[in-house]
Structure 1
């Protein structure tokens, strides 16, 4: 019985804690073993893994045990006859790596763990990394379980699983590596990484290492494009060869004492960073590249892919350029026609150096100078890498209140947008001091405003900042402000995350929508409805909302807007459609032609803008009408990835006081008694710009009508801005460091024209949005002896035309058409391998073109009927 208890105790000990594994004859003192080493790396396109470029390194590794006991050992490793083969299996491109095997390196090995790594001070980064990759292959455990290990991949969580008494598998996860990393906060603009890291090894029955196979796999994809990107696969093999031989040993009480006789220094096992150097005079500079791309930077190329591609090529160099070089470029007389695009570049670069140079244009004396100053600020507003110093500098400028009101408005919106983007960066929040300073400034200025126009300006600033700390202030303005202020506040509130809305906020929005406490502007009511539907109402909440349709509310355009929104959401979500169907069927008064066939011209719809092989995007169009004319219109182009949505560009139109020109006398829903005004509101990547007012007052309106100043296409917005902006690194087991980057840009040319005839009582308008989109990605592995690279890019020039014809000779008839012309999508993948020492270079290029057919988007049957009536007249 006592013997049984002892056995059970031992079994229990093995089951509940780690004990020293039996490594047996592993690395016996005074002996040297030889291993064959092979490391193969290949890269290619994520869509076609059959065509790759890559290399193989072969060598012999001699491992001598210089000092130690059964548990602690000092191993000397030496690499013999390292050879590089490019295009795997092709001996025609065999290169001897003379520098790799020149020195010995050492590891302190303790029960399967590499505790210390020692190498020569003369080794460069790639040679050191290569040796670390070899050293890490001797790190293994013989007990199943979870461990934390460091190797060239970083500090990783590892799981050991035994397949037999001699075969083991090691899975590596959550590797933490100290390196530069940046990605957009918006998921659709990010890149996706799929990785797999594992090691399989075999030991003898005595526990000595016989074979190791380490595998790394990475697929790098652009979220916006289905399965578009690159991959890299690395397989490293180590296998014992022949019998061991005797070697001399060293003495010492500790491993550090033993190492005193060697001229080496200690390092961690994590890989070192390596930056390849360009060859002498072949180094690219921003000045050289701008001269090459000069033609693509002219105004004629805005809205085309040439403009987007040029920006992508310049940004990386721009982030390493000095303020002096930027100034020299800006002041060059030969760059006069490119100056606006250069300011787009400075806004995308977003370094303190680029800002110092750009400040020269923030001092303006003419309309042209003011246009350039605004161009830079608008580029900064949508930049992905805001700097604290730049925000503080612009905030100080805003505190001094520039005299030009338009410039001041743009400055306020830029500071607010940068504050929002800064708060979203890792390590920051809306509690960060500089973001708090922006919020305090906006609220302080808002409280000092006496006029609606002033209040609207700073409400737009709060819209761009999107700080949850401003919600109560915006709600108060929505409830108590004038019609214009209330609408502006509701627009700002609509931009916040739906996760902020609790029951109190929901009650407030229902108050506005149903006009419980007082009468609200129809646009404020429509925006309140948008929020209530964004919250995803349940059955009871939706039932409450649709009661408006059978109420005595005279605002039939609001009812029509509600109907259109319900239909739009039902088209997109089957569950919502089923819930709405059940609500309608159980209420006979609702499920009635007089309710669901209500009059009104307001529309709400969503349509597919593009899909595979292009990016997945939707087009949402909201048109709120009043008195037969447009009161508020929104066309939003949004990128969609899974359930995530990102607004790339939003065109908003607003008008007021025009009903008297087209009204037939039916004033039932005509609340428009304001002065005549019309304009455009633009939001680029969620950042709202100052509005463009076409006319303000009947005098300006009639001046445009009689002079025809708006009858020719007039630019409303032109710019090239960054979309994707992602960088990170992936260290391989073999010591190589893979660099990953994706950058995207969109170039937009928005122009419009309006013609109006009081004699013929008709009007025609056309808004054209021409865009050039370019996305480039790169997967690269650079060492002093070989470089691999996969470049992938996609380009497209999609367009969108919105036209409207209005006939108000009798009852108003409005025909709207939303059209997409044909476009061509091109995709290119370039795979390159270079061996610097022998000037060997191989390049594979694959290029594909896809014709994307254009279309005219169906709006609704009522619009179709009115278009037919106008066509017959």
Structure 2
């Protein structure tokens, strides 16, 4: 018999396949009354990306597989026994990845019974186990049984096994081996996945799942080796995160032992006789991650009252406190929150408390705020707006709150500013709700919001009314409004036209078709009518951010030669093309090719366009803790800033995400400029509007209520004489949630992987326009202080042991943008963009914990990087103008 076995083992793949085919109709695989013994091991590692010592455990035991009944249709009832399962851990301080020693664990005391599966030619769908067993052990047994489900022919299938429903591919790797590869697994467990739709705010979860089967010549399984490997990192920086590696091995020497057979004719009869046994699918159940919250929300706030002080906004201290309290706020009851808001001792940090409650997005928090904060009291407006703005950028929009906001905006007793803020919030929340994986713009809740905007804007009788709803539609970003927005772009009033074009500018480039792009081009070229310069430049932004052909680019560049008196618009075009070209090699080559092919275009007086409008893009953060870009656009008209934006983005390999945009605007000020300036540079401009200036803030795609410095010459002169026009105005003070990624995965060994990544931004941003009528100059100042705190956790929970990697990042980046304009003789604009020194701190903590037993191994690694300050070089022309302004 020995001789025959060895000879068969050396035969070719053809013999192996023939034997497998025979095995499907005979009883060679798992013979009735015989038992195989497999040595079982499972090694699990969590590693960081800094090549530090991994945290790990090993599970060992023996798995006996016996066929106790073969039915008439060759269906077999397999009895499994897991003998002596033991947990082994690495000795503290060991650098060896293979050295493990036994350690006492709850696994030793678990009730451990036989378990069963009905097997037919490699197919298994159900496990039968004692219902009184611990969930951790049941998951382990399900994972073992699922390994005995396999196919012996190549092909692609859909299988529902331990990891959920997966796309599975089988491939021959040798005459006696086959590999099973899994991907796109979807678990049917009720785990709540929270994944932001914005690509740069996600976690990249790359995985490799495969199982290799080695067979004996008779078709029985000699060895199973399964691996689950996950690499988890921030999308915006793939160097931050860690990996989970789980390897399961089952191996037998092929020796068979006899076992008792079932005394029934069918598996169903036998299984019905077992007490306390139940049948389930092979999908493992999620091991819940219990997060101890030992404090109610009021107690938690009191512990961080100094950290949340207004003076600390813009620091890591404030961001970290916000993130620590947020999980407690999400589970807080209404009565607890009401008591918190009514506390007079905490009144000085109430705005920061409202940041937390808005970010939590719970109905309890919403009802509490409405009960304590009077939305009709003008004295409470700042608190009302702070809460509504926090709701607008929250990552977990709630349908009940959206419907309640619909009631609020229809409440005639609320003030105008509250209504405007609520309209903006309503649009933002509906957009975020529609972006959730199981919702869309066709959902009932979002449809009601769209109907509200449709019905409300047509009833407007004045310009402010139109603008407030257009700004709400800006936040909603529903493609159903596109045609209507084009109509408003053609409105004769500049405010309405600009607001409508800004709403169109807010849409992602993916929504535009060729017809849309043609309409934007016609607006820029003013084919049918004249448009305000801001409408034209916004239309140009959309064209340049979309995919365009070389002929379209050639036509745009040819416009530099056009007899267009709006030289600042042509300057804007040139600046934007140069900015995009500097970031795209292919585009840069196209631009150079077009310019060189046209002698009239390739001329100094065309390429060196008149005007002070500027557009620039600079990397302000690389790698630590994410890739970030600053884009600054200063649109000048008549020597005065007309529209300026500073846009901050987080960049991933696939896309960029704007998390903060500050806009400065002014109008009606050209009459104060020196007569040497060609203030009537564009006879296509609409009549000049009343003097005005202000700020516009967009946070994470949500346009907030603008902050107006002055409106009308009376207010302007009042500022000039009082000196208040020279004072920086706080534009935005708040703690906000950025990353909010929570995901669970089931792996082959039955354990659950929890991925939790959150981050908070504490933002202190202020800006000012300082205008001197006597000195005929102006200064624009934007200062941004940010505290960024990222907290990530990758945890493997097997029930009887947990491993985790925690990474925490701290950074306090600052940006200063100053623009000086001198229009006393010739117009001169000097821009200075600088970043002070900064420090980036990165901490990694790894834990190995055996619950119910005092075993906790912890390792900590800290990194500190000093980041030198920098003054960004903008361009040669800017340097020349700065030298003129500061020559004296």
The residue correspondences of 1:245-260 to structure 2 (distance < 5 A) are 245-260=257-272
CA deviations 1:180-208 (Å, max 9, x no partner) are 22211111111111111111222322222
Task: Measure the CA separation in 2 of the matches of 1:862 and 1:155.
Answer: 60
Over 3 Å counting, the alpha-carbon distance change for 1:595 and 1:278 in structure 2 is: closer
CA deviations 1:464-503 (Å, max 9, x no partner) are 1111111111101111331221111111111123333334
Task: Measure the CA separation in 2 of the matches of 1:525 and 1:148.
Answer: 52
Distance apart, 1:649 and its partner CA: 0.5
CA deviations 1:162-193 (Å, max 9, x no partner) are 34443332222232212322211111111111
Distance apart, 1:265 and its partner CA: 0.8
Residue in 1 aligned with 2:148? 138
Distance apart, 1:94 and its partner CA: 4.9
Residue in 1 aligned with 2:302? 291
Over 3 Å counting, the alpha-carbon distance change for 1:146 and 1:864 in structure 2 is: closer
Distance apart, 1:577 and its partner CA: 2.0
- Is 1:869 paired with 2:884? yes
Do the aligned partners of 1:81 and 1:101 also contact (CA within 8 Å) in 2?
Answer: no
Does the residue aligned with 2:395 lie in a helix, a strand or coil?
coil
* TM-score, normalised relative to structure 1: 0.94
Over 3 Å counting, the alpha-carbon distance change for 1:361 and 1:696 in structure 2 is: farther
The residue correspondences of 1:400-415 to structure 2 (distance < 5 A) are 400-415=411-426
Residue in 2 aligned with 1:325? 336
Residue in 1 aligned with 2:322? 311
Query: Which of 52, 55, 58 in structure 2 is aligned with 1:56?
Result: 58
The residue correspondences of 1:531-546 to structure 2 (distance < 5 A) are 531-546=542-557
CA deviations 1:41-77 (Å, max 9, x no partner) are 11111342x5101111111223333322483222222
Do the aligned partners of 1:480 and 1:486 also contact (CA within 8 Å) in 2?
Answer: yes
Query: Which of 273, 279, 292 in structure 2 is aligned with 1:261?
Result: 273
The residue correspondences of 1:545-560 to structure 2 (distance < 5 A) are 545-560=556-571
Quick check: 251-260 or 145-154, which moved more? 145-154
Distance apart, 1:366 and its partner CA: 4.9
Residue in 1 aligned with 2:732? 717
Distance apart, 1:99 and its partner CA: 3.0
CA deviations 1:15-55 (Å, max 9, x no partner) are 9x99963675333323333322111111111342x510111
Task: Measure the CA separation in 1 of the matches of 2:688 and 2:730.
Answer: 30
Task: Measure the CA separation in 2 of the matches of 1:764 and 1:174.
Answer: 55
The residue correspondences of 1:201-240 to structure 2 (distance < 5 A) are 201-240=213-252
Task: Measure the CA separation in 2 of the matches of 1:23 and 1:190.
Answer: 51
Distance apart, 1:761 and its partner CA: 3.7
Query: Which of 654, 665, 672 in structure 1 is aligned with 2:665?
Result: 654
Do the aligned partners of 1:276 and 1:783 also contact (CA within 8 Å) in 2?
Answer: no
Does the residue aligned with 1:162 lie in a helix, a strand or coil?
strand
CA deviations 1:347-385 (Å, max 9, x no partner) are 211122222222235524655521111111111111122
CA deviations 1:382-431 (Å, max 9, x no partner) are 11221111111101111224431111110000001111111111232222
Residue in 1 aligned with 2:119? 109
Query: Which of 415, 437, 449 in structure 2 is aligned with 1:438?
Result: 449
Over 3 Å counting, the alpha-carbon distance change for 1:421 and 1:90 in structure 2 is: same
- Is 1:737 paired with 2:743? no
CA deviations 1:582-614 (Å, max 9, x no partner) are 322232222222222232111112111211233
Do the aligned partners of 1:151 and 1:733 also contact (CA within 8 Å) in 2?
Answer: no
Does the residue aligned with 1:296 lie in a helix, a strand or coil?
coil
Distance apart, 1:90 and its partner CA: 4.1
Residue in 1 aligned with 2:842? 827
RMSD: 2.4
Quick check: 102-111 or 457-466, which moved more? 102-111
Task: Measure the CA separation in 2 of the matches of 1:291 and 1:105.
Answer: 52
Does the residue aligned with 1:449 lie in a helix, a strand or coil?
coil
Residue in 2 aligned with 1:6? none
The residue correspondences of 1:439-518 to structure 2 (distance < 5 A) are 439-518=450-529
Residue in 2 aligned with 1:668? 680
Query: Which of 183, 187, 196 in structure 2 is aligned with 1:177?
Result: 187
Over 3 Å counting, the alpha-carbon distance change for 1:22 and 1:144 in structure 2 is: farther
Residue in 2 aligned with 1:587? 598
Do the aligned partners of 2:630 and 2:649 also contact (CA within 8 Å) in 1?
Answer: yes
* TM-score, normalised relative to structure 2: 0.92
CA deviations 1:740-773 (Å, max 9, x no partner) are 1211221111123454444444443422111111
Do the aligned partners of 1:81 and 1:96 also contact (CA within 8 Å) in 2?
Answer: no
Task: Measure the CA separation in 2 of the matches of 1:22 and 1:855.
Answer: 76
Residue in 2 aligned with 1:272? 285
Do the aligned partners of 1:361 and 1:369 also contact (CA within 8 Å) in 2?
Answer: no
Do the aligned partners of 2:77 and 2:118 also contact (CA within 8 Å) in 1?
Answer: yes
The residue correspondences of 1:364-375 to structure 2 (distance < 5 A) are 364=375, 366-375=377-386
Distance apart, 1:287 and its partner CA: 4.2
Residue in 1 aligned with 2:35? 32
Residue in 2 aligned with 1:811? 826
Task: Measure the CA separation in 2 of the matches of 1:762 and 1:147.
Answer: 72
Residue in 2 aligned with 1:800? 815
Distance apart, 1:862 and its partner CA: 3.0
Task: Measure the CA separation in 1 of the matches of 2:171 and 2:824.
Answer: 83
Task: Measure the CA separation in 2 of the matches of 1:424 and 1:19.
Answer: 53
Residue in 1 aligned with 2:134? 124
Task: Measure the CA separation in 2 of the matches of 1:18 and 1:652.
Answer: 72
Over 3 Å counting, the alpha-carbon distance change for 1:226 and 1:706 in structure 2 is: same
Distance apart, 1:459 and its partner CA: 0.8
Q: Which runs of 5+ in 1 are unaligned?
A: 1-10
Do the aligned partners of 1:609 and 1:618 also contact (CA within 8 Å) in 2?
Answer: yes
Task: Measure the CA separation in 2 of the matches of 1:102 and 1:283.
Answer: 34
Task: Measure the CA separation in 2 of the matches of 1:150 and 1:436.
Answer: 36
Does the residue aligned with 1:113 lie in a helix, a strand or coil?
coil
Does the residue aligned with 2:345 lie in a helix, a strand or coil?
helix
Residue in 2 aligned with 1:3? none
Over 3 Å counting, the alpha-carbon distance change for 1:203 and 1:813 in structure 2 is: closer
Residue in 1 aligned with 2:388? 377
Task: Measure the CA separation in 1 of the matches of 2:374 and 2:282.
Answer: 53
Do the aligned partners of 2:105 and 2:800 also contact (CA within 8 Å) in 1?
Answer: no
Task: Measure the CA separation in 1 of the matches of 2:520 and 2:214.
Answer: 67
Count of aligned pairs: 857
Do the aligned partners of 2:786 and 2:814 also contact (CA within 8 Å) in 1?
Answer: yes
Distance apart, 1:274 and its partner CA: 2.2
Task: Measure the CA separation in 2 of the matches of 1:223 and 1:505.
Answer: 31
Task: Measure the CA separation in 1 of the matches of 2:164 and 2:367.
Answer: 38
Distance apart, 1:568 and its partner CA: 1.3
Task: Measure the CA separation in 2 of the matches of 1:432 and 1:713.
Answer: 44
Q: Which runs of 5+ in 2 are unaligned?
A: 1-13, 91-97
The residue correspondences of 1:4-19 to structure 2 (distance < 5 A) are none
Residue in 1 aligned with 2:74? 71
Distance apart, 1:457 and its partner CA: 1.0
Distance apart, 1:325 and its partner CA: 2.1
